[in-house]
Amino acid sequence: MEFVQKEEPNVEKPIIIAAMQDMGNVGSIAVNFINESLRTKIFRTANTQFPTYIVDRGGYIDLPDERWNYSYTEDLIVFGGGKGQPQSNNELNALCQDVIDVAKKYSAKFIYTLGGFHTNRIFDNKPKAFITTTSKELTKQMEGLNVDTTPQKSIITGFNGLILGFAKKNDIHGIGIYGELNEPEIPQYRSSISIIKTLEKLTYRKFGDTSQLEIMAQEVERKFKN
């Protein structure tokens, strides 16, 4: 994994939102939305040195441009989004450690990660977002904020789980917000909306009008119903 610093962001004790593509694209949809809505500026990139797939153009192939960006605005750092995540444990660990190093460099106190929560519950276009944190004490502090904690024990794999482990090991507060979904193979825009609304509640800041995401959800429904 190669990391390139393009500039030094003007941030002071920012919160960090870090998530990558996962089930239903939930994490990347939310991160891409936040970047576009807040017009964040890229200051650092993470580039994989070994392609995880190739693109067949019909008789010839292209190599994908696999990179993930760190962006910033007003005491907020956003990492990830885009497509995919590293397929090797070494690269995934390097990526998580770099997020931690960036958090320490700019004295970030909180890391939020976002992802999908696969469930069989029928939620009628109103998926819940569940949170889990890096400590019992932090979870207890969430009481009174009208948020739901993850309902049972489970294993969280990939970047959107592992980054919480790295945060805990480095004494940085971490909160995972996971939007429930029934069909992980289909982009889940409403799950991302639920995550964004929960993130707004926890951070006391607005991330933008999500009505376009609702329109995208309706378009996906029409496509797959047909």
* Overall number of domains in the chain: 1
CATH number at residue 210: 3.40.50.10900
- pLDDT tens track for 60-74: 999 877 889 999 998
**How many residues does this entry show for the chain?**
226
- pLDDT tens track for 169-187: 999 999 999 999 998 899 9
Q: What is the mean pLDDT of residues 158-162?
A: 92
pLDDT surpasses 80 at 119: yes
List, in order, residues 6 or more apart from 176 with CB less than 8 Å away.
Answer: 112, 113, 114, 115, 131, 132, 133, 156, 160, 161, 164
Select from 225, 217, 219, 200 the least CA-distant residue to 24: 217
- pLDDT tens track for 3-56: 999 999 999 999 999 999 999 999 999 999 999 999 999 999 998 877 777 889
| Res. 226 pLDDT band, cuts 50 70 90 | low
Q: Which domain holds residue 9?
A: 2-54+62-225
